[in-house]
Amino acid sequence: MASVKDLTAKEQPTWCPGCADFGILTVLRMAVAELGLEPHNTLLVSGIGCGSKTPHFVRTYGFEGLHGRILPVATGAKLVNKDLTVIAIGGDGDGYGIGGNHFLHTMRRNLDMTYLVQDNEVYGLTKGQASPTSPQGFRSPSTPSGALEEAVNPISLAIIAGATYVARGYAFNIPHLKMLIMNAVKHKGFALIDILQPCPTYNKANTMAWYNQRVYKLEDSGHNASDKAAALAKAEEWGDKIPIGLFYKAEKPTYEDGLPQASVPPVKHDISSIDIKPILARMM
């Protein structure tokens, strides 16, 4: 079993001092270690952004793809090897903006994977433009007079689109976030954790102090995560009080289990009798 130390890569992050990505990275390593996941059977998939650098710093398999294309890559990996633990990770711009279409369709398929969104409500890597979760009125280089549109609500979107584990974490509540990640990985189906993540450099509104005054745990409020209507009602709560925890959970068949090749995933097919030389020759 890999320890947190075993999972710590030599390469060090270059995130800004105080960036909550450090906390999420630490929690992710702790969750992978405590779950006893084998590094060679675990894949982290990311896109482009500050948070998307995370797979560089965890010694499992990792794939940093194109901006917004985290979920198609994660889907492909899961379909060829359904025994792989697939954890997708990236920013709110990556997942809910340019990757928004993939977000919807991956959730309705209910693939068995975990998607962690480092939601800092801003485009960090490209220097602070408004993102899909920036609040209406958010002033940024791309919205100097304030964002005109309403913010995306990833929690209600995920519940409606068919995700079967929908949660919100907070980067500075490490034990709680670790518990959410561990339960998400153990859940059989598509799990989204939207992680509230201050960006001290470009988001001066949603700071650690701002969140600390507002976040409370859903599990302390008697919320029933199997009640979809109650989950949708809780998803609307945002302001003086912000719920974190598990909003919704359901059991449904996964996409990969319905495929004809479900019993033997493609990566485990015996191809030793196939002569691949003519195929390669055609490609040369």
Ligand X SMILES: Cc1ncc(C[n+]2csc(CCOP(=O)(O)OP(=O)(O)O)c2C)c(N)n1
Q: Pseudo-torsion of CA 267, 182, 178, 220, nearest 10°?
A: 150
Which residues, including other chains, have CB under 8 Å from residue 238's CB and lie 6 or more apart? 153
Instruction: Report the nearest approach of ligand X to the CB of residue 89 (Å).
Output: 10
The listed partner (ligand SF4, ligand X, none) that binds 123, CB under 5 to 8 Å by sort, is ligand X
Q: Which of 15, 54, 65, 67 binds ligand X (CB under 6 A)?
A: 67
| 264 residue type, one letter | V
Total residues contacting ligand SF4 by CB under 6 A comes to 11
Distance (Å, whole) CA 56 – CA 209: 29
Instruction: Report the nearest approach of ligand X to the CB of residue 199 (Å).
Output: 6
Does 94 contact ligand X by CB under 6 A?
Answer: yes
Does 21 contact ligand SF4 by CB under 6 A?
Answer: yes
Q: Which of 50, 73, 167, 218 binds ligand SF4 (CB under 6 A)?
A: 50
Q: Which of 81, 126, 183, 207 binds ligand X (CB under 6 A)?
A: 126
- Give the CA distances from residue 284 to residues 148, 277, 279, in Å, rounded to whole numbers and listed in that order: 53, 11, 9
Distance (Å, whole) CA 87 – CA 195: 14
DSSP type of residue 23: H
> For 123, phi and psi rounded to 5 degrees?
-85, 105
The listed partner (ligand SF4, ligand X, none) that binds 126, CB under 5 to 8 Å by sort, is ligand X
Distance (Å, whole) CA 182 – CA 246: 12
Q: Using the minimum distance from each CB to ligand SF4, give the nearer residue, 84 or 147.
A: 147
Q: Which of 42, 54, 75, 120 binds ligand SF4 (CB under 6 A)?
A: 120
Q: Of 281, 62, 11, 25, which is closest to residue 178 (Cα–Cα)?
A: 25
Distance (Å, whole) CA 16 – CA 233: 36
The tokens for 213 are 């005054």
**Strand, coil or helix: 44:** strand
Does 16 contact ligand SF4 by CB under 6 A?
Answer: yes
Q: Which of 39, 72, 162, 200 binds ligand SF4 (CB under 6 A)?
A: 200
The listed partner (ligand X, ligand SF4, none) that binds 201, CB under 5 to 8 Å by sort, is ligand SF4
The listed partner (ligand X, ligand SF4, none) that binds 15, CB under 5 to 8 Å by sort, is ligand SF4
Stretch that binds ligand SF4, among 16-24, 27-35, 130-138, 241-249 (CB under 6 A): 16-24
Does 118 contact ligand X by CB under 6 A?
Answer: yes
- Give the CA distances from residue 146 to residues 125, 135, 150, 239, in Å, rounded to whole numbers and listed in that order: 20, 9, 11, 18
Q: Taking CB under 6 A as the criterion, which residues in 143-172 touch ligand SF4?
A: none
Distance (Å, whole) CA 163 – CA 216: 23
Q: Which of 23, 93, 154, 243 binds ligand X (CB under 6 A)?
A: 93
- Which residues contact ligand X by CB under 6 A? 48-51, 67, 90-94, 98, 118, 120, 122-126, 131
- Which residues contact ligand SF4 by CB under 6 A? 15-16, 19, 21, 50, 120, 124, 199-202
